[in-house]
Amino acid sequence: MWHDGRLCYGGDYNPEQWPAEVWAEDVALMRRARVTLVTVGVFAWSRLEPAPGQYCFDWLDQVLDLLHDGGIRVALATPTASPPPWFSLAHPGALPVTVDGVRLHHGSRDTYCAAAPAYRSAARRVTAALADRYARHPAVALWRVHNEYGTTCHCEHTARAFRRWLAGRYGDLDTLNDAWVTSFWSQHYSDWAQISTPRATQYLGNPGHLLDFRRFWSDTLLAAYAEQRDLLRAVAPQTPVTTNYVLGDWVPVDHARWAREVDLVAVDHYPSAVDGGAEEQTALVGDLARGWARHAAADPTWLLMESAPQQIHTTGRAHTKEPGRMLRHSLAHVARGSHGAMFFQWRASAGGAERFHSALVPHAGPDSRVFREAVELGAVLERLTEVRGRVEASVALAVDASSAWALRHPGLPSTRVDHHEELAAAHRALWHAGYGCDTVAPGEALDGYRLLVLPALYLTDDATAEWIRAYVHRGGHLLATYLSGTADAHARIRLGGYPGALRDVLGVRVEEFHPLADGDEVRLADGGTGRIWAETVHPTGAETVTTYAGGVLDGSPAITRHRHGTGTAWYVSTRPDDTTYRRLLDSAARAADIAPVCPDAPAGVEAVRRLHPGGSWLFLLNHTDRARRVPARGRDLLTDTEVDEAVTLPPGGVAVLRERLPSATGDETTT
Ligand code: GAL
């Protein structure tokens, strides 16, 4: 077991930035805040190996012993995300090269090429040394490999590895030429050596080339992770290994695929919006992480590995979180299956690039609002130890890294279509309407889901099309949004009318796209509006749910519904505004016989239910600045009081109810 039953609470801890006197104070403060787990050593390479092959572990020995004596467990990190200056100077060929061919220099972090042999062997060496030293240290509960794999490189090492990867994937150049449609613009390759990484070029790049580079690079980073993992497992087979996922459009990692290679899915989450957006994003990330965790080899639990205690970072400004918001965000993650809440970082640095990043112990020290809230959070998490089980969800949202990457290619009819934004829009609508949802990868088992949503699932290979078709055929409800089904696994367009692979199941044939300009809207006959995209849709069996109103598409179908087998398939050819989308998904969910998690919860109160054969727990999070009364029954674990009819949540307040379940005799029993 990688945890000791308690929820994980703590964060990145950087003792290498502080003199030893501070370490003792840190442990005392951690005990006050009931911290259970800290990550140590993430960027400590130059302290651990000050010169090639010379290790300095004394300080870490002391730190781990102190933490252990204080009852605090450690996620011991390998420091390989930040090679020391001596490494970069000795191996300039291992420095990364940008898409424009510029070689980067040390002086920050993450400055290495993950395909460079010198980097890989130095990373293995320091990992092996760390593993040898600490494999049996009683404080070490978890290995955290590296930090947020996500760098990219276009150097010659990368190009060579890319060619090897392509040869493995395609076998011969004819197959590759066909997959990439290199007949276009004279791009035919007659020798493997002609293929480079997709560097900056005169005009639009080739979609197949761009897509395969992303896939290859995800595999390369994964191999870099896996070789460290294997070294750690070899000496410490009892200690699970993970790496913290970074999320964002730029990340070249297929997280679902990676999940099969970690013992525990760990994600970092830093919302980028302030008003309500942070809560919507938090809910989505929790659902994504849980979806990835279902692929993980050992344990379907996941962990919020990093989050910011006190700030929300938006472009150009750090917003200070209001009192209580850190607790609410943390519980939103725990509600969605995170085995705790971890932060970046424990103590705010006195200098360095992130000197103003927030921390549980801020620059002001422990006599601060943030630290008092940290102490409160520790106490709250202790009260939630009993919570377990799956999250109630009857809606599945499909997520696919390849679709996301392909929709960012140049040359699409609109630069505004984005798989993740489509996913977020659908999730937001479901979240506001109060439905629990899981994210799924194409091909995953869909038993138990009554509604499957495909948010611009642009790349739909034949197996995925069959997966969708079979789901609807046997009675499932499907809602597909525009561009789903349009391309094949190589991003080649499926001919004969959009949405390509899904025409039969959706009962429509789309003839033309009408991408909309920024700020433009199309009106819908039901009173709603559409943004970003519109289409000329011809029903070929589907009924029209609503039409476009006005403009060139006046009277033509905008949203349709089709019976296929014993199921129903909705098609949405535009991006409905939030209210319309919410109404639409509400109708689709009700038609699929799905109820909201807490049908009587007032607007602005998030409800998430965890279910286990031995119990049921309802998380209620009031995201509004008014008190909210929620009809519910059970024992509030936070206040240790009985709730008979309703709980009143103060502004920004939370409750976690151990629900009463009806017993066989019809009476209610507390679980
Ligand atoms: C994370 C990273 C941390 C820290 C944090 C600041 O992405 O893992 O090391 O940089 O961002 O927001």
The residue-averaged pLDDT of 343-355 equals 98
Q: Whose CA is nearest to atom 4 of ligand 1?
A: 344
* Atom in ligand 1 nearest the alpha carbon of residue 147: 8
- Residues designated as active site: 148, 306
CA 343 to chain centre: 16
The residue-averaged pLDDT of 201-210 equals 97
Best residue among 148, 242, 349 to mutate for probing ligand 1's pocket (most ligand atoms within 8 Å of CB) is 148
Confidence (pTM): 0.97
Whether residue 245 has its Cβ less than 6 Å from ligand 1: no
Q: Is 604 helix (H, G, I), strand (E, B) or coil?
A: coil
CA dist., res. 658 & res. 671, Å (int): 7
Q: Exposure of 20 by Cβ count < 10 A (0-12 exposed, 13-18 middle, 19+ buried)?
A: exposed
Whether residue 246 has its Cβ less than 6 Å from ligand 1: yes
Whether residue 609 has its Cβ less than 6 Å from ligand 1: no
Whether residue 354 has its Cβ less than 6 Å from ligand 1: yes
Q: Which of 573, 575, 521 is nearest to 542 (CA)?
A: 573
Per residue in 279-330, pLDDT (tens digit) is 999 999 999 999 999 987 555 789 999 999 999 999 999 999 999 999 999 9
Confidence of residue 2 (pLDDT cuts 50, 70, 90): low
267 and 289 Cβ atoms separated by less than 8 Å: yes
Whether residue 663 has pLDDT greater than 80 = no
Distances (CA, A) of 398 to 427, 452, 649: 11, 7, 33
Q: Whose CA is nearest to atom 11 of ligand 1?
A: 344
Interval between CA 295 and ligand 1 midpoint (Å): 25
Interval between CA 614 and ligand 1 midpoint (Å): 38
Per residue in 215-251, pLDDT (tens digit) is 999 999 999 999 999 999 999 999 999 999 999 888 9
* Atom in ligand 1 nearest the alpha carbon of residue 313: 12
CB atoms within 10 A of CB 168: 10
User: What confidence score (pLDDT) does residue 221 get?
Assistant: 98
Q: Which residues contact 251 (CB under 8 A, 6 or more apart)?
A: 150
DSSP letter string over 118-157?
HHHHHHHHHHHHHHHHHTT-TTEEEEE-SS-------SHH
CA atoms within 13 A on the CB side of 456: 25
Whether residue 148 has its Cβ less than 6 Å from ligand 1: yes
Whether residue 664 has pLDDT greater than 80 = no
Which DSSP letter does residue 286 get? H
The sign of the dihedral angle between the CA atoms of 193, 199, 205, 210 is positive
Whether residue 549 has pLDDT greater than 80 = yes
Interval between CA 89 and ligand 1 midpoint (Å): 25
User: What confidence score (pLDDT) does residue 296 get?
Assistant: 76
Whether residue 270 has its Cβ less than 6 Å from ligand 1: yes
φ and ψ of 125, to 5 deg? -65, -45
The residue-averaged pLDDT of 412-434 equals 97
User: What confidence score (pLDDT) does residue 104 get?
Assistant: 98
The residue-averaged pLDDT of 448-455 equals 98
The residue-averaged pLDDT of 654-662 equals 88
In the block, residue with structure tokens 């896939």: 215
Q: Is 510 helix (H, G, I), strand (E, B) or coil?
A: strand
- To 10 degrees, the CA torsion angle through 428, 429, 430, 431? 40
Confidence of residue 614 (pLDDT cuts 50, 70, 90): confident
Confidence of residue 3 (pLDDT cuts 50, 70, 90): confident
Whether residue 146 has its Cβ less than 6 Å from ligand 1: no
**Structure-model confidence comparison of residues 670 and 503, the more confident one:** 503
User: What confidence score (pLDDT) does residue 249 get?
Assistant: 84
Interval between CA 308 and ligand 1 midpoint (Å): 9
Best residue among 45, 145, 304, 306 to mutate for probing ligand 1's pocket (most ligand atoms within 8 Å of CB) is 306
Per residue in 75-92, pLDDT (tens digit) is 999 999 999 999 999 999
CB atoms within 10 A of CB 443: 14
Q: Which residues contact 382 (CB under 8 A, 6 or more apart)?
A: 6, 7, 34
CB atoms within 10 A of CB 463: 11
Whether residue 662 has pLDDT greater than 90 = no
Residue type, 82: S
Per residue in 31-48, pLDDT (tens digit) is 999 999 999 999 999 999
Interval between CA 130 and ligand 1 midpoint (Å): 22
Whether residue 352 has its Cβ less than 6 Å from ligand 1: no
CA dist., res. 373 & res. 371, Å (int): 5
- To 10 degrees, the CA torsion angle through 455, 461, 462, 463? -80
Q: Whose CA is nearest to atom 10 of ligand 1?
A: 354
597 and 607 Cβ atoms separated by less than 8 Å: yes
Per residue in 120-159, pLDDT (tens digit) is 999 999 999 999 999 999 999 999 999 999 999 999 999 9
The residue-averaged pLDDT of 100-118 equals 97
Per residue in 150-204, pLDDT (tens digit) is 999 999 999 999 999 999 999 999 999 999 999 999 999 999 999 999 999 999 9
Whether residue 147 has its Cβ less than 6 Å from ligand 1: yes
Whether residue 269 has its Cβ less than 6 Å from ligand 1: no
Q: Please give the order of strands across the beta sheet that includes 8-13.
A: 241-242, 140-144, 73-77, 37-40, 8-13, 338-343, 302-306, 265-268, 244-245
Mean pLDDT of the chain: 96
Q: Which residues contact 64 (CB under 8 A, 6 or more apart)?
A: 40, 74, 76, 134, 137, 139, 140
Whether residue 667 has pLDDT greater than 70 = no
CA dist., res. 229 & res. 124, Å (int): 10
